[in-house]
Structure 1
């Protein structure tokens, strides 16, 4: 970082101490073209994330974030962007705090809040449900636009008491999802998506289908549930206009999220059928051809080429607001799958050949292999003297004996339980089924009342 200004060195040194993602390499994306693909408040979120993560794009992204904040009414966002650029590039014009704009915008926001709250109070006195619902919606939208996300969520939540049609329910849930995405409240996102999905016929709505699947995928991704996220993203249908969800993500994002997660959790057969042969998802893949190539390489057994493509785009992935925190985990899972699949046809492989195929320049993957063996993801052992990775051969006879013993114990337990119940019934006791225990068989409770007494 010797080529950086002292201000940027201090700024990104502080980011590293806070555990933030810091990227030193210039990404492939063009900032202006990238951000024009989005609408709404996600533009600011993405600009600020890039400004706080990318050393080459930091100043340009933060300057654009300041401009975007001032184009809206969220004083808190302006202060956040200004605080960052003040530290990173104090000599830029945007680093001078616009106190006049702040005072003027605060006054505008306060007057509008008072007006909308007064209107809502009048609607409540009149007792007209539709007016009350719209009043809460208007107030929630205003709070969201000025950055009061908790108040916006509360206002949208109050809309539920006045809903009268399925469209109102969907509108209410979508408003809550919008706020939850900004607050990174993943459980709330999944909960509200489930409410929308439960409405009869909504899954067949061409405009709503991609929204439901994409938002579900992002919600599960935020929770680290990669399989569930991939399943939803791969079912998104782009037959609807793309601008129905570009305030959340673009088709390019869907291709990247779905493709990477599928590589992390699916085997070669499912990647072929669920991704490459999927006519719906193929439309998304056409927007990001490198993801399609990486998946094709993996399915064809060209694991080194697959990883090489992904590594060349890793910087771009780290600059995505939803993906950045999970990139290392996703890449680790994909690497482990590639190593495991590469090793499957062999009884032993030299460590030198593995290093040549998978290791970064001047490094060894021996420590990575040890971790995979310990975690159980790789059934092998390392012969350090011969520098070989040797497959652990299973003993079919031993496995058969274990299976036979397990089956015998299960039969014995079931026989004892049946005899016990027969004896209880023979003694005139009443046997009732109890509640289902988590992860086990139904529990049984015995009543002490005799059959004759009943």
Structure 2
């Protein structure tokens, strides 16, 4: 008889999902305690769908989390996964009584809140209307109707009366946009949370939420450097509860450290990660990230990669990192290889294989791809099994830079002289209305869509 778990992950793999066969280093119970709200279920479901070792355990915890909530669709989804992965498990059966009871309760609560909101609107009391929209939006979010939740959270904005209300509206909308993976929508919502320094206490308490959400949005758009800067600027003195509905302190440390390693040079890593007193507080529960950055800064590149590879399984089970892990790790490997080769004019492939070899591919193939993409300036000698680095002559580079600066200065000087001559002749440049007409005023410079008129 076929193993249900094997069939489950074969199906996940066929559907393009990521399957993690190695056991992660984290403890599931301790990990999930760092979160609250809907992200807790989302993370459990992702682990259940991706981890061979934690599949059934994570799905059962997700099932319990779903029954504590009001989202019927989530309950159905996790039961379906559990029925495929562990058909003999007693939890892999629909609780029809709970489903019917919860569905009825959801309908009744929706009608009650709609009636209340209608009454508030008839009375024209702004604060009551705001609270009515908030209660209804939270209800829609809890039952999984994110479109309606976003709509009613947005309707709160005209009725806000305090700085806290404005920040709360922004947080609600950001949280829903993250759940819907609408990365572009996050930035206008975050911009509207700005208080322009008028309410410093509110700004301080919401700062890590804003930075974390900004980092998640940039990460979702593959803008790794911008995401790293956002995470590195988060304030560690604000309690984690203020942002645990989207991210944890450990996540900020991991995301910030990994993305900084992938996008920053040695000097930036030293200044913005290792010497950043605020970010060091985030790094305390994730010391391996600090060790990996330290190894890179100290030139111990193979040790840096080895540390990160030990945690690859953990990051492949993270809700925001999962689809980016291979790209981030590839960027860090490329940086390590390039930095390793800088002091040498020639290195044997055997030496590089010992330092950076991986079972997935040969170092020669990896170097060839890096050279083709312009990441590495080098040549591979396939006969002698050597890598020759291509060195730029500093003297020639300085001369080329000086010539480029002189040419740019000459162009600017000619342009200034031309404009001075036009002004001295009592002429001026004005836009023309006729499309496609161009005037050339000597030299190489053409003034498009402009004409000379008498002053």
Fold shared by both chains (TM-score > 0.5) = yes
Maintained 8 Å contact 2:23/2:53: yes
* Ranges in structure 1 where 5+ consecutive residues have no aligned partner: 435-440
Find the counterpart in structure 2 of residue 79 from structure 1: 76
Cα offset, 1:165, TM superposition: 2.3
Find the counterpart in structure 2 of residue 289 from structure 1: 287
SS of corresponding position for 1:92: coil
SS of corresponding position for 2:74: helix
SS of corresponding position for 1:431: strand
Maintained 8 Å contact 2:167/2:206: no
Maintained 8 Å contact 1:190/1:220: no
SS of corresponding position for 1:349: strand
CA change 1:203–1:300 in 2 (3 A) is: farther
Maintained 8 Å contact 1:381/1:390: yes
CA change 1:317–1:100 in 2 (3 A) is: same
CA change 1:387–1:44 in 2 (3 A) is: same
The 5 Å alignment of 1:196-207 reads 196-201=193-198, 205-207=203-205
Maintained 8 Å contact 1:433/1:442: no
Maintained 8 Å contact 1:206/1:239: no
Q: Which of residues 219, 234, 237 is equivalent to 1:236? A: 234
Task: Output the CA distance in 1 between the equivalents of 2:48 and 2:186.
Answer: 26
TM-score normalised by L of structure 2 = 0.91
The 5 Å alignment of 1:332-347 reads 332-347=330-345
Q: Which of residues 54, 61, 66 is equivalent to 2:63? A: 66
SS of corresponding position for 1:390: strand
Q: Answer yes or no: is 1:353 the counterpart of 2:324.
A: no
**Residues matched between the structures, number:** 442
Find the counterpart in structure 1 of residue 213 from structure 2: 215
Cα offset, 1:123, TM superposition: 1.2
Find the counterpart in structure 1 of residue 436 from structure 2: none
Q: Answer yes or no: is 1:41 the counterpart of 2:30.
A: no
Task: Output the CA distance in 2 between the equivalents of 1:162 and 1:123.
Answer: 12
Task: Output the CA distance in 2 between the equivalents of 1:164 and 1:179.
Answer: 22
CA change 1:201–1:258 in 2 (3 A) is: farther
What is the CA deviation profile of residues 401-452 of structure 1, one whole-angstrom value per residue up to 9, with x for unaligned ones?
Answer: 6445534543554455445545654665432489xxxxxx99775356533x
Q: Answer yes or no: is 1:30 the counterpart of 2:30.
A: no
What is the CA deviation profile of residues 321-374 of structure 1, one whole-angstrom value per residue up to 9, with x for unaligned ones?
Answer: 011111011101110111111111111111100000001248521111111111
Task: Output the CA distance in 2 between the equivalents of 1:362 and 1:117.
Answer: 57
Find the counterpart in structure 1 of residue 91 from structure 2: 94
* Ranges in structure 2 where 5+ consecutive residues have no aligned partner: 433-444
Find the counterpart in structure 1 of residue 222 from structure 2: 224
SS of corresponding position for 2:91: helix
The 5 Å alignment of 1:123-272 reads 123-201=120-198, 205-272=203-270
Task: Output the CA distance in 1 between the equivalents of 2:143 and 2:270.
Answer: 46
Cα offset, 1:248, TM superposition: 1.8
